[in-house]
Amino acid sequence: MEDFDTLAQERRARLAAERLLELKQAELYEANRKLSKHALSLSGEIIEKRQEAEHLKVENSRTREDLDKANSAIVIAERRLWDSLETIQDGFAVFDPSDTMIAANSAYLRVFDDLEDVKPGISYSDIVRLAVEEGIIDIGDMSREAYIEAALTRWRAATREPQTVRLWNNQYVKLVDRRSRDGDMVSLGLNITGTIRYEERLKKARYKAESANRAKSAFLANMSHEIRTPMNGMVGMADLLAETSLDKEQRLFVETIKSSGTALLNLINDVLDYSKIEASKLVLNPEVFDLEKCIHDVIVLLQPNAAQKGLSLIIDYDMFLPTRFVGDPGRMRQVLTNLIGNAVKFTHEGHVIVRVVGVPEKGGLSQRVHVSVEDTGIGIPKGFENHIFGEFNQVEDDRNRKFEGTGLGLAITRELVQLMGGEIWVDSVEGEGSCFGFCMSMDVVGESADNRAPAWIKDIAVVESVEAHADILSKQLAALGIKATIFADAKSVLENPPAVQAYLISQHLEDLEIEEVIAALKAAEVKAGILVMAAGMGMKAPDIPDVHVVHRPLVRAELCRALAALEPVEISALPPLVLEGPQMPDTTKKAGLRRMRILAAEDNKTNQLVFGKMVKALDVELVFANNGQEAIDLYQSFDPDLVFMDISMPEVDGKEATRRIREIEAQTGRHVPVVAMTAHAMTGDEEEILSHGLDHYMTKPLRKAAIIDRILMEHPAECKPVAPMDDDAPSAVDTAVREAMAEATQIGG
Ligand code: ADP
């Protein structure tokens, strides 16, 4: 049993050992399998890495090749760059941010030829110092230190302008230095010797040409002048000869001498003008002038020519544009004569209109004046608009050739307009007409008393059958503060003559002759002044007693002058007291009124005398102050109704005196009108003077009519009429006023 057990135990043990062995074997097998799998993946990775390494090797060698190529390209580019920099004649250098030279081409270094120190590594300040000390750069009048300081200051500035320096060998170098973004400075030294020499030669040549031109112009000017003198004698004598008794043939000879002489004189005048302009000898003589009158004068001169051809010459002067300007009236007339003369010359039928408008500038102190001369003539072919402004240039065609002329007129006109600071142009349609225009700025001068109508004229009857003329007239009169009543024919006005202060009647009415109209008015006992508008200067004007004639085109100044010359017969237009004076039945009431008090401050005794004479006929109390201080004192003691104040007086002048009077008035609340009397008639004077508290402005020489007009306007209601009263002679009321109005005595001042 025991053996059986032992055997069983042994068998069990063996079986267990066998099982364990099996187990271990299985584990070993599993481990072995894993190991071989891992080995497999490792060997795969090794193959991959090996392939990668292989690839990298190829890449690496390719990169190295590329790098070699790039390096050699850089070397080539650098060599080429330097070859180029070496080839150019201009200097080139680069400095690092601490201003140390990094590189420079031979041209740059050559300037410092013998100086070994000038090479890469040297500082810019050392280069400048060496250049100055060794005399490489011409430093002119500057001290060495100052020159170096200036050069280094320029170098260090944020931005630097190119600088031209002259070298010891008379070469010129233009230094252009620019700092790059990384702080390096690139410096170029451009050799501009050739350019400078060329400029010098050009300058010399230009100077020579200009002197030759000046000499030519001076010669022309002298010759023209020399020729003109005997020519005047010839033309003058021919004129005289023409007035003697001559037979038909002799008259023809003399007329030919006259017309040829005149043509030659015109030509010489043109040449003289042109050469003067070229030689810059022509200077303008600015003075106060009336532009409207200037145009009118030119029109009057050209009217006979225009009338011969049946052309109407019309002025359309903007009613709101002042007429008095500062300019050269003689030269303005020359420009206008040329343009309007050409318009008349090149027009066979139709009209020539001169239009003037202006745009205020500098707050109205000056005007941009536009003048255009429009015609219905032959016109200018396309493409010739600029050509005709050239000297001796004309439109060369059949139609043009028959007109006389030199072709200098427009050239001179353009030069004159430009000399006056203006521009000139032309618009034209061939066969239809041309419009020449020019514009320029001119300072405005306050309207003169000439351009104001007398205060007593308020209503005028205009008898005019041409509607356009009537329109312009009523605009013109409205601008003067006068109401115009228009009558289209004589009949309508004669039916019921209106109560106006003046009649303005056209010489040519459709229904009646002018003489008949005036006779009818006189028969109707019309007392108003009568003005007849004649067709134009040179045209036959009516000669009727007591009738004034004005010529078309009507100019404001002429119209005002004619109105001022009228006798103020229409009493209803005078200030109330004057007009009521003669009708007042109660003389005691009249006697109770005081006389108007007038203070005139004037330091000049002669002017006092003349002023006294001007107002002598008036029934006023006149006191003179000999200076500004006296004027202030008299203002308080005399208590004037009106003050005439001279501006230039010793010690206290008129402006100061008025200021002080206004200070006194600030307490009393009064305001006495103060009228400036001054010889300062330039632009801006009026505004300046009035800014000191004066109310009105009169320029010397004073006009009697203007003074009396002002007195009438300022006449206070509580004063006696300014003219002496006499119930027995009521007409004396306005005798003085009439006298004053009619006369335009002038005093100097
Ligand atoms: P001129 O009249 O003496 O010939 P200008 O210089 O005044 O010289 O004018 C030059 C030319 O311009 C004239 O010859 C003419 O051909 C042309 N021209 C000038 N004004 C006019 C105009 N209003 N209408 C037509 N042509 C004109």
Residue 571 confidence (pLDDT)? 40
DSSP for 81-139, please give it: HHHHHHHSSSEEEEE-TTSBEEEE-HHHHHTTTT-TT-STT-BHHHHHHHHHHTT-B--
Is the CB of residue 221 less than 8 Å from the CB of residue 271?
Answer: no
What 3-state DSSP class applies to 428?
Answer: strand
Q: In what order do the strands lie in the sheet with 423-429?
A: 312-317, 351-361, 366-375, 433-443, 423-429
Residues 6+ apart with CB under 8 A from 53: none
Residue 450 confidence (pLDDT)? 61
Q: Is the peptide bond before 381 cis (omega within 30 degrees of 0)?
A: no
What 3-state DSSP class applies to 291?
Answer: helix
Residue 14 confidence (pLDDT)? 92
Calculate how far, in angstroms, residue 328's C-alpha sits from the geometric centre of ligand 1: 24
Mean pLDDT of 508-528: 85
Calculate how far, in angstroms, residue 313's C-alpha sits from the geometric centre of ligand 1: 18
Residues 6+ apart with CB under 8 A from 71: none
The Cα–Cα gap between 639 and 599 comes to 9
**Does the CB atom of residue 409 touch ligand 1 within 6 A?**
yes
Atom number in ligand 1 closest to CA 405: 3
Burial (CB count <10 Å: 0-12, 13-18, 19+), residue 724: middle
**Does the CB atom of residue 343 touch ligand 1 within 6 A?**
yes
**Does the CB atom of residue 352 touch ligand 1 within 6 A?**
no
Helix axes 467-479, 556-564, angle to 10 degrees: 70
**Does the CB atom of residue 286 touch ligand 1 within 6 A?**
no
Helix axes 248-278, 409-419, angle to 10 degrees: 40
The Cβ of residue 392 has, within 10 Å, a number of other Cβ atoms equal to 11
Lowest mean pLDDT among 171-185, 195-209, 310-324: 310-324
Mean pLDDT of 681-693: 77
The Cα–Cα gap between 255 and 262 comes to 10
Residue 734 confidence (pLDDT)? 43
Mean pLDDT over the full length of the chain: 83
**Does the CB atom of residue 598 touch ligand 1 within 6 A?**
no
Calculate how far, in angstroms, residue 260's C-alpha sits from the geometric centre of ligand 1: 20
Ligand 1, atom 3, lies closest to the CA of 405
**Does the CB atom of residue 410 touch ligand 1 within 6 A?**
yes
Tokens 């890469």 belong to residue: 120
The Cα–Cα gap between 562 and 457 comes to 12
Mean pLDDT of 232-243: 76
Length of the chain in terms of residues written: 749
Calculate how far, in angstroms, residue 392's C-alpha sits from the geometric centre of ligand 1: 10
Reported as type and span, the H/E element at residue 551 is strand 548-551
Give, in order, the Cα–Cα distances in Å from 72 to each of 67, 82, 86, 226, 627. Answer: 8, 15, 20, 85, 101
Ligand 1, atom 23, lies closest to the CA of 343
Q: In what order do the strands lie in the sheet with 548-551?
A: 483-487, 459-463, 502-506, 529-534, 548-551
The Cα–Cα gap between 243 and 261 comes to 16
Q: What percent of the chain has pLDDT over 90?
A: 38
Confidence band for 64, pLDDT divided at 50, 70 and 90: very high
Mean pLDDT of 386-405: 72
**Does the CB atom of residue 380 touch ligand 1 within 6 A?**
yes
Mutate to test the pocket of ligand 1, among 382, 388, 436 (most ligand atoms within 8 A of CB): 388
Residues 6+ apart with CB under 8 A from 401: none
Mutate to test the pocket of ligand 1, among 267, 277, 313, 346 (most ligand atoms within 8 A of CB): 346
Mean pLDDT of 484-492: 90
Assess whether pLDDT exceeds 50 at residue 246. yes
The Cα–Cα gap between 369 and 440 comes to 6
Residue 218 confidence (pLDDT)? 75
Assess whether pLDDT exceeds 60 at residue 537. no
Atom number in ligand 1 closest to CA 389: 6
The Cα–Cα gap between 424 and 371 comes to 10
**Does the CB atom of residue 422 touch ligand 1 within 6 A?**
no
Residue 449 confidence (pLDDT)? 56
Supply the Cα-derived Rg of the chain in whole angstroms.
51
Assess whether pLDDT exceeds 90 at residue 126. yes
Confidence band for 587, pLDDT divided at 50, 70 and 90: very low
Mean pLDDT of 167-196: 91
Q: What are the residues facing 357 on neighbouring strands?
A: 370
Tokens 């690139």 belong to residue: 186
Atom number in ligand 1 closest to CA 393: 10
The Cα–Cα gap between 309 and 312 comes to 9
Residue 42 confidence (pLDDT)? 92
- What single DSSP character describes residue 444? B
- pLDDT of 623-661, one tens digit each? 999 999 999 999 999 999 999 999 888 888 999 999 999
C-alpha angle 121-122-127 in degrees, rounded to nearest 5: 155
Lowest mean pLDDT among 111-120, 388-397, 412-421, 517-526: 388-397
Kindly report the pTM of this predicted structure.
0.45
Residue 749 confidence (pLDDT)? 34
**Does the CB atom of residue 725 touch ligand 1 within 6 A?**
no
Residue 402 confidence (pLDDT)? 62
- Per residue, the 3-state secondary structure of 254-294, as one string, reads HHHHHHHHHHHHHHHHHHHHHHHHHCCCCCCCCEEEEHHHH
Q: What are the residues facing 361 on neighbouring strands?
A: 366
Helix axes 605-614, 704-714, angle to 10 degrees: 70
- pLDDT of 562-575, one tens digit each? 888 887 754 443 33
Mutate to test the pocket of ligand 1, among 302, 342, 378, 432 (most ligand atoms within 8 A of CB): 342
Calculate how far, in angstroms, residue 424's C-alpha sits from the geometric centre of ligand 1: 14
The Cα–Cα gap between 591 and 593 comes to 5
Q: Give the pairing of strands 746-747 and 702-703.
A: antiparallel
**Does the CB atom of residue 271 touch ligand 1 within 6 A?**
no
**Does the CB atom of residue 395 touch ligand 1 within 6 A?**
yes
Assess whether pLDDT exceeds 80 at residue 358. yes
Is the CB of residue 485 less than 8 Å from the CB of residue 465?
Answer: no
Tokens of 575: 């200030």
Helix axes 732-742, 704-714, angle to 10 degrees: 140
Residue 684 confidence (pLDDT)? 63
